[in-house]
Chain A
Amino acid sequence: MVVAYSEFEAAQAANLVKIEYEPLSVINSLTDALRPNAPLIHDGLAFYSHVVEEIYPELGTNIAHRVKVRKGDMEQGWAKSEVVVEIQVSLPHSDHAAIETRSALVEIQQDGRVIVNSSSQGPFAVKKLMSTLFRLDMGKIIVKTGLVGGSFGAKTTAYPELLAYLASKAVGGRPVKITNAREEDLISSPGHIGMEATIKFGASKEGKIIAAEMLYLIDSGAYTDTSPTMAKAIAAACTGPYNIPYVTCDSLSVYTNRPYSTAFRGFGHGELTFAIERAVDKLAATFGVDPLELRVRNAIAPGDSSPTQEKLNVSSLGNVIECIQKIKTLIKWDNGRIIKSRKNLVRAKGLGCFWKTSSSPVNAISGAILMMNQDGTINLNCGVVELGQGTKTVLAQIAAEALQMEVDKIHVAMEVNTELCPEHWKTVASKSTYMAGSAILEAANELKREIKSIGAIVLRCPPEDLDVGDSRVYLRYDPSFYVEFKDIAHGYRYPNGNSIGGQIMGRGSYIMTRLSTLDQNTGYGKSGPGWVVGCQAVEVELDTRDYTYKIVRAATVLDVGKALNPKNVRCILRSGMAMGLSLASREALVFDNQGVVQNPQFRTYKMMRFGEQPEYLVELVETSQIDAPYGQRGVGEHGLIGMAAALANALSAATGVELNQLPLTPETIWKAVTGGSQ
């Protein structure tokens, strides 16, 4: 690292550094990595310490972690299966491509306090990691995060913060800033996993899937970061939203010499859904059954159990079948799945059903503080980072609803400061509204108790006779007797000057409840507090002569529990669809045979542009999740999850050829159809 007064000087100095590399043999693919005598990228991997206890690296291999799911006796499962289909899919490394590249500014003050300004999804995780690595008191590390310019999982990894700390330390604690150039963000910083999967389904004559054998291989690059947890997430949801009684799944995180990977919107679910949904379509084709009908027949329902044998109920699962039925209408499924629209043009539709739960630590926490201003308005303070998803707005709505007051009177602190804010695990996993919202409800209850206890004195009645609403506390049986918040917010003053009370505050604290780790041999356990289920569809128009295509429309039906902010929910779902379609249709890092990325800039790493967006359709299903604030379910990632599957299914239908590789560029399709000859 070079530290200088200006970026220009630092760059000049860095140019003077001569590095001699000794090239090692390159592991450039999962196949290379898993070959019996493959060179080992980390020969000491079994002895590494890891953040999560339940990681099982395999000594003498490049396997960093293996999660096994074993449900039911497979021999019986295959015996009962009359039809068997098998597919292999692969999808490439790609990038989050957030507009704001990663950035951190660290200063070590004279008193030993370390001030970290960080663009991070997990300021508290940064604090913990720095404390562990640099043996610093947690209270001396102050991480501040303002509005983050997009992340999509990218900024869950703490590392510019660590480098900036070391750099600051080297120059006597002066502030040092590290900001990635785009190329660095694309290559050196962790991106999106690559994956290969093999799915084998056994089904009865009636088209019920009986048995599933699955192998998911995550190409995590040269370091693991969160890829073992992604392997776990994939394993926990490995069957997709289908009730399959006999399941065996191995989900592996594998080292290669490619850029390392971290969480990406969907956290492995978009990837597993692509594999599963291609297999379901193949099964439907084998039976000659409508793929939508086959999905309805196999949809998982309350009373069934998950692959990790979690017993599911209406609240924890939601309604898969209703999502499928609604998408049928929304995408006009019955108007024809494959239509020849004009000469050389075919219109086709494809589906992607999915489910997702979170894979947080079993003891992930969140907290909230509500503090009254003198005018009776309320400041809301919590540790959730705002990165464009709008959680802070929803949290203000939750507080306003709980206190029956106008949302404009709730002021949410935008910056997260680990010295001042209650801890929130990380702003990830579409779980911030659930976790922080639960904490806010508890805080609101405490605030109401305080309001009522002062109110009871002022209004000379028992607190039980009081209710709270419209920024006042009033007598339940005669609301004409009331005190306004502004008169008690910072204590109540009697006419003669005597005062009682003090600033009214409420605190709430939440911890994930009744989650368990997954058993090493069977996967038995529970990884998240509730599922989100949905069904998506894509309609394409393909030119059968040159394999170019247009995405005409994309649709999502999601069981959102309760849409607390319906406009925002729809907006987030559309944004997820856009990202998913971009990823599925064109995004990929391209490597040469030495593993060097060939397209490290946006001029060659392409994303879908605004003018290329299709029509987006969104419908919601609302099956309340009882333990969640007002019944809501997470929606942040879900618009993306089924898009690759739906696009691949639509294009496979249009071409009549199995398209099992992403991205689905016209060249990919041309190769699949023609074998790549001219």
Chain B
Amino acid sequence: MILIDFEYYKPDTVQAAVELYQQLTIQAKQPLFYSGGTEIITLGRVGKLYTGAVIDIKGIPECNVLEIKNDQLIMGAGVSLTRLAEANLFPLLTESAGRIADHTSRGKITLGGNICGNFIYREAVLALLASDSIVTIASENGCRTVPIMEAFYERLQLAAGELLVQVATDATYLSLPHRGVKKTRMDRIGYPLVSMAALRINNRLQVAFSGVCAFPFRSLKLEHELNNDGSHETRIANALQHFPAPIVDDVEGTSAYRKFVLKNTLEDTLTHFEGV
């Protein structure tokens, strides 16, 4: 049971959604944009989330788009992970988003919701970071498009009232050699010790990580080390110097063990793309 009472709105346009947000804010409703709702239920039932009004974005056509147009894959923020996986237009995204939560939840969880969520993993963003995707963000001043590598730092940097509408990925990235890896404590379903999305473009790896640090990231310095010449061992050791935050230590695994898993994952990844 959700422990709070809140109002529900379902606007038809992006414009209406962002305006509604402003009005509800003036009314001190602390509104939230939402699409899948899994986090509202999860956090709401244990008293860790407050809102006086939710704005459902699933009625907005732009948020439900899933198509290739003008050599770009356009994905609405309100598209569910299951729909993404079934369409499988971007196999690396299918891999990195295909093991978030469980099958039942993935039917509800959306691309936008996962990227903007409160949990530290946000694994759907990994393939988007690795593929230099572009996000469309709406505010009351209209829409802007920004490379995700600029807009995403620890989390998608949205000002209050801004809404992630769509993500676009250049079609050339969709069929590149790639590798998605998720390592958990034990189970097929579970939070990652290490989740990684890697693709190879012009003989260079582009790699993003989740589960290792307290937020997902793609580090160009780290990538630079991985793409250097030298033995796998040296390159991995150097890459490990560039993790942007302490390695997570929690119920899923200690940081020492995560590091062990991470090294193996990197080793396997280099071997996968380059051979032993």
Contact = CB atoms under 8 A, between A and B. Distances in A.
A667 interface: yes
A586 B252 CA distance: 11
Given A545-B264, A590-B251, A606 B257 contact: no
Interface string A602-625: 011010110110000000000000
A598 B253 CA distance: 12
Interface residues of A, number: 29
Interface string A661-678: 000011100110000111
A606 B186 contact: yes
A473 to B, nearest CB: 56
B151 interface: no
A118 to B, nearest CB: 22
Contacts of A609: 187-189
Most chain-B Cβ atoms within 10 A of its Cβ — which of A599, A612, A667?
Answer: A667
Nearest to A674: B260
A15 interface: yes
A134 to B, nearest CB: 30
Interface in A535-549: 545-546
Interface string A566-587: 0000000000000000000110
B3 A15 contact: yes
A11 interface: yes
Interface string B148-187: 0000000000000000000000000000000000000111
A678 B263 contact: yes
A611 B1 CA distance: 29
B188 A8 contact: no
A8 B190 contact: no
A484 B276 CA distance: 82
Interface of B is mostly: loop
Contacts of A293: none
Interface string B247-276: 000111110110111011000000000000
Interface in A641-678: 665-667, 670-671, 676-678
A611 B264 CA distance: 25
Contacts of A8: 1, 3
A670 B264 contact: no
A586 B1 contact: no
B191 interface: yes
Most chain-A Cβ atoms within 10 A of its Cβ — which of B186, B191, B252, B253?
Answer: B186
A7 B1 CA distance: 8
A183 interface: yes
B259 to A, nearest CB: 5
A183 B46 contact: yes
Q: Give the contact-size bracket for chain B.
A: 20 to 34
B47 interface: yes
Contacts of B186: 585-586, 606, 665-666
B1 A676 contact: no
A665 B47 CA distance: 32
A183 B263 CA distance: 35
A46 to B, nearest CB: 38
B255 to A, nearest CB: 10
Given A15-B3, A604-B251, A678 B260 contact: yes
A611 B189 CA distance: 10
A676 B189 contact: no
B191 A665 contact: no
A650 to B, nearest CB: 16
Contacts of B251: 590, 598-599, 604
Interface string B101-130: 000000000000000000000000000000
Contact of A677 (B188, B252, B253, B256): B256
Interface in A8-26: 8, 11-12, 15
Given A612-B187, A676-B256, 6 more contacts: A586-B186, A598-B251, A604-B252, A667-B185, A670-B257, A671-B257
Interface of A: 7-8, 11-12, 15, 181, 183, 545-546, 585-586, 590, 598-599, 603-604, 606, 608-609, 611-612, 665-667, 670-671, 676-678
Shortest 10 CB-CB distances between A and B: which pairs?
A: A586-B186, A667-B257, A590-B251, A599-B251, A598-B251, A678-B260, A546-B264, A665-B186, A11-B3, A678-B259
13 contacts: A7-B1, A546-B264, A585-B186, A586-B185, A603-B191, A606-B187, A606-B190, A609-B187, A611-B188, A666-B185, A666-B186, A667-B253, A671-B257
